Every structure is written in C-alpha cells, then in structure tokens.
Structure 1
Amino acid sequence: MGKYLEAIRKELDYAYEVEMPKIDEWTKIDIQHIIGKILVRIIGKMIVGNPVCRSDEWLDLGFTEDFVSASILMRLLPTWMHPIFTNIIPQRWRLRKGIKTVRKIISPAVTRHQEANKKRAQGMEVDEEDSMLNWILDNADEEAISTNLAQMVLVMFVPAAHTTAMAISNVLFDLCAHPEWAKGLQDEITNANKEFGLIGEKLPVKDWTSQLELLDSFFNESQRLSQPISITPNRYAYENVTFKDGLTIPKGALIGFVAIHNQIDPEIAPNPEVFDPMRSYRRRHSSPDEKDKHLAGQPSKENFAFGYGSQACPGRNYAIAVIKMVLSRMLLDYEFKFVEGHTKPTKYHLMEFIIPDPTAKLMMRRRKVA
C-alpha cells in the first residue's frame, strides 16, 4: 500500500499542476470534471503507470459512464432481450471499443515488464516503477492474462477513480453548504504540515493522512448522507432459502441491503437529518475503547458505504488516503462557494447508483492568505 500511495502522491503533483485552474477571482467552474480528470490520472499511475496514465487515450476513456448506463439499460429489459440489445445499444459498442483501447495502450507496458523480468532472471538490476498491472502480470494465471487483462485493469479503474472523485465532489458540496467548517479543516491541515512536513516528506502518505481526524469525520458525515450506492452490502444465495412467510430466495439470486435507510436510522445516527461533521470524531474520543473505531472506510454497522465483513471493499484504505491527499491540497489552496442562487446539488437515483447532479458547478478562487 505504501509504495502505491507514494506513486499516487508524486503523480498528484503533476496532475494538480495540469488540471487545477489558476484563478484569483471568483470563477464558475465544473469542479466534478476537474476532480474526475485528476483522479483518472493519479489512479492510472497506480494501476498502469507512466506514460500510460498521461496518454490521451487513457484520459478520454469514458468507460465508467458507459459501464453504468449499459448496466442500467440491460437490467430494464427482460433477459430474453439481452442477446439482441447487447449488440444494439451504443454504450455496449463504446465499452467494446474501450476494452480494445486499453489492450492497445497497455501492450507496450506489458512488453517492458516482460523484458525487465528477463533481465532480472539474468541477474541484472532493473530500474522499473511499480504498478498494479505489473503485479497482475507476475501473479495472475497466464490464461486469464491472455484473455482478460484489459478487463482486469478496467475493473480496478472504474470504482477506484469514479467513486473516489464523486466522494471528493460531495465533500466540497457539503463544505459549501456548511462553510463554517472551512477554517477548522484548513487549520488541521496547516498544523499537520507544520508538525510533520508536507505529505510524504517525513511521514508515509497513509500515516500523514491519518493525522487529519476532523477531515476524516467530515468525510464520514458527507458519505453518510451521500453514499454512491444505495444497496450494499450484496451477497449471492448459494442455495434456495424459504422463510416462514413463504418468501423464497432462489439459488443464485443477488441479495442487497438497503444501506441508505440504515444511515438515517436515529438509533444509529441520532438526529439523522442534521449534518454533523463531528459525529464520528465525538464517538472516537468518547472513551479509550473507541479511539480506533468510527474511522472513514472502516466497515461497521454505522456505515455500509464500503460494504461489510469479509466482502468489504478491498481498496477502501487507498480511497480514504487519496481523498484526504487531494482535499488537503485543495482546501489550503482554494476557496469554494455555491453559484449565486444555488444550493447543494440534487442527487439522482439510477437503480442503486446515487450521483450528484452532473451539471452542478461551483464558484472557486485561489485562497487569499493574510
């Protein structure tokens, strides 16, 4: 985890310089687009490495949008129609094109890694950056690699980049709705810089980001009310199950828990309609036994956003570190507010997916420090 987060940190310096606008006066910007581009770059650095993560083909994939919309369209249709419509809807055409594009752009990286391994086998030292693509090549079944490598890359990329970018956007929307918390968050980040140096300078990324307890709690509250999926965790039935009332769950059925109801249960979150960024922080500091609990990304019965149990999202700790890494820079460098006459964007529910209004904009300027 440490080496991949360090790779992300270094790429963030480049992505931040390329994508973040240099504006000193209040300007309306498409913040979701900007954050999305930054995440595509830095997550790409972890998965496929440089130069692939900086290529136009990688940056313009658009795979996530087609993946989600194709999933929704196909599930709206009866299964007998799937063989017909899978070849008709344009999203599926673009998905196939995306897989071909990924095969093409990762092919040189695969060749380079194979050549590096040959040199190592001959006892030669090789200067090669780490990536998850290289890890797959070294550990996955050869047949799976030959047929499914592009799909493996995309399966990692879709949740890692898209949902993380959406989480960062939601934090900024919540901060604009509750601007009184901006100074506290900025002070916490400034104090971490003073005590531990810039991120990654004296402490590894994960240890540095763990110092941001208020930001951790703020994100937890933002995610409680704006999680990306309404039905989680999910499980498959391994056998037929019949309940006392006659309800039968057939073998192979996908079962989901409606987590968004859990997040607003007053027995779990008192005064659930109130946005309370200190909710998790207070719980952590309520007693010594609670100090390692109630953390962002930590599966618990209070928060099912990352799943639960052994099937909880395996990349959740990466996601939290990345979210804090990006936000700690943005909150120190910029100020944000809603466009005049606008409030927190509407959330759209598409099947189990929950997304903020994709057309929502924010006002933004570089922060003026006295």
Structure 2
Amino acid sequence: MKYLEPLLYKKIDPETETSALIWIKEASKGCAYDFATLQLTLSLASLDTSTDLLAKVLCDLSENPTLVNDIRKEIIEIVGTEGLTQASLQRLYLLDSAMKESQRLRPLGYSNMERLAKETVVLPDGLIIPKGTAIMVSACHMMDSSVWPNGDTYDGYRFANLRNNAKNSLTSPYQLTSTSKDHMGFGHGKQACPGRHYAAIFNKIALCHIIMKYDFNVTLPEEGRVELRGHNILPHSGIKMSIRRRQEEEISL
C-alpha cells in the first residue's frame, strides 16, 4: 500500500494512459476495496497463466525440431533487422502460430467463459437459464477435427499459413490474441482476458531468448504432458527439460 497509494492518485491523461489501479478504481463503482490485494491478485493471475502457456509451448516445440529451426530463422530475419520491439514481436507470425496451436490443443481448461446469470435468460431453442445460475462453455470443440482440419494433431504452422492467406494479416482472427467461438483460449466476447496482449508479449520475449540461446529437449512422464485438476488442464509436474547453451546468432535481444 505504501508504494502503490501514490500511483493510485497520480494525475494522468485517461485518453493516452491508464493502469490496472485506475481500472480497478473505475470498476469498483464506489464500492470499498483493497487496491493492494487486488493488484497482487492480478499479478499472480497473470504470471500463473502466462507460465502455463510457456510450459505447454516448450513441450510442443521440443517434439518439432524443424519448427524450432524455422522459428529461429524468423527471429533472425525480423528481430535481427528491427531489434526486439513490440512491432517486431507482432510480425513473428510463426512463433505466434506455434503458441496459438499449443493453446488450442491444451488450453487452461476443458471449459471456458464462466458466467453468472444476472437475470433469467431464455435462449433461442427455449432453454431457460434461471437468474443466479453459474454457467460455462465447453472448449472441447477447439481441440478436435470438428472445427479445425486434423484438429487432433499439433501443427505449429497452422495459424501462420491461415494468416499468410488472409487479406490483412496484422488484424487476422488467427493471431494469438484474437478470440472466436472456434478458439476460446483467452475466452471470448466482452469479458475475454484483458491481459492477453501482455501474455503474448511476455511469452514471445521469453521464447525468443530460449530458442536463440538454448537447445532444449523435454522428457514427459508416463502420464503425459498434462495433468487434470477438475476441468483445469495443467502442465504435468513431472515434466523434465534438458537444456544446452548454444552459440546464438548475433541479433539484438
């Protein structure tokens, strides 16, 4: 509280600057809250989910050395020319694609978009959701072939190919931070994860360093790469990784 309170009352231009503290203040709508606890909660939630994705991506990349080499070439071509910037990170289509594919096959859980009905809702098919009912949406369809061709198989090139064929690849619905009913890794709708852009940048920076500086190999336990806790899909605690320092190409990381 000592360090955050001055920031809470710092005057800023809401048109050009914002922060989690200001967002919390506005969202509270005058209700009492502990801003320090809420800020720590947001920090923990962002690190937990971001590292969950990072672990799953590394497991998939470990089994696809050709993909790793191609991503390495992409990093050298783009980051090597432009430096490690937000703009260059956005242009790493193949890395973005590999991350989105890992999230597609192994999202945070088998269900998503947890909601509480604030009033009674009647759906078009006549189903009634009473006021106060907790609901969630199954995410299983995004993991199989009902939506994506060969959807049971990991294809790190999948979304890069789709973006390359799109008219405007920078605003493509196939990039990691885009959400849809067919890919709800970050949720969907008005309450989609507000931190997904941070998560994308966080993980891309981490993966650029790992891929360029290390050769790595993941050893999975007999139970597989994930373990379930309720409907949550977590990286298995028995995963082991062997890493070896490599002589990275001279680029500005």
Q: TM-score range by the shorter chain?
A: 0.7 to 0.9
Tell me whether 1:188 sits opposite 2:74 in the alignment.
yes
Tell me whether 1:365 sits opposite 2:251 in the alignment.
no
Give the CA deviation at 1:232. Answer: 1.0
CA distance in 2, matches of 1:313, 1:137: 15
Query: Between Structure 1 and Structure 2, which shows a larger proportion of helix residues?
Result: 1
Tell me whether 1:274 sits opposite 2:160 in the alignment.
no
Give the CA deviation at 1:167. Answer: 0.5
- List structure 1 segments (4+ residues) > 2 angstroms apart after TM superposition: 110-114, 130-145, 238-250, 289-292, 341-346
CA distance in 2, matches of 1:208, 1:284: 16
Aligned to 1:256: 136
- Among 290, 294, 317, the alignment partner of 2:197 is 317
Counterparts of residues 12-23 of structure 1 (less than 5 Å): none
CA RMSD between the two structures: 3.1
Counterparts of residues 134-149 of structure 1 (less than 5 Å): 135=22, 144=31, 147-149=33-35
* CA contact 1:284–1:292 (8 Å) conserved in 2: no
Give the CA deviation at 1:112. Answer: 5.0
CA distance in 2, matches of 1:109, 1:241: 44
Tell me whether 1:223 sits opposite 2:103 in the alignment.
yes
What amino acid does structure 2 have at the position aligned with 1:192?
I
Aligned to 1:304: 184
Change beyond 3 A, Cα 1:344–1:274 = farther
Counterparts of residues 173-252 of structure 1 (less than 5 Å): 173-197=59-83, 199-200=84-85, 205=86, 207-241=87-121, 248-252=128-132
Change beyond 3 A, Cα 1:342–1:176 = farther
Aligned to 1:154: 40
CA distance in 2, matches of 1:109, 1:161: 21
- Among 219, 222, 233, the alignment partner of 1:354 is 233
Give the CA deviation at 1:239. Answer: 2.9
CA distance in 1, matches of 2:223, 2:213: 22
Change beyond 3 A, Cα 1:301–1:239 = same
Give the CA deviation at 1:297. Answer: 1.5
Aligned to 1:110: 4
- Structure 2 gaps of 5+ residues are 12-16
CA distance in 2, matches of 1:174, 1:191: 23
Q: Percent identity?
A: 26
- Deviation track 1:19-68 (CA, whole Å, cap 9, x = no partner) reads xxxxxxxxxxxxxxxxxxxxxxxxxxxxxxxxxxxxxxxxxxxxxxxxxx
CA distance in 2, matches of 1:313, 1:303: 13
- Structure 1 gaps of 5+ residues are 1-106, 121-129
- Deviation track 1:95-149 (CA, whole Å, cap 9, x = no partner) reads xxxxxxxxxxxx32035547x95xx8xxxxxxxxx9946646976769656x422
CA distance in 2, matches of 1:330, 1:304: 27
The size of the alignment, in residue pairs, is 243
Give the CA deviation at 1:186. Answer: 1.0
* CA contact 2:218–2:239 (8 Å) conserved in 1: no
* CA contact 1:177–1:344 (8 Å) conserved in 2: no
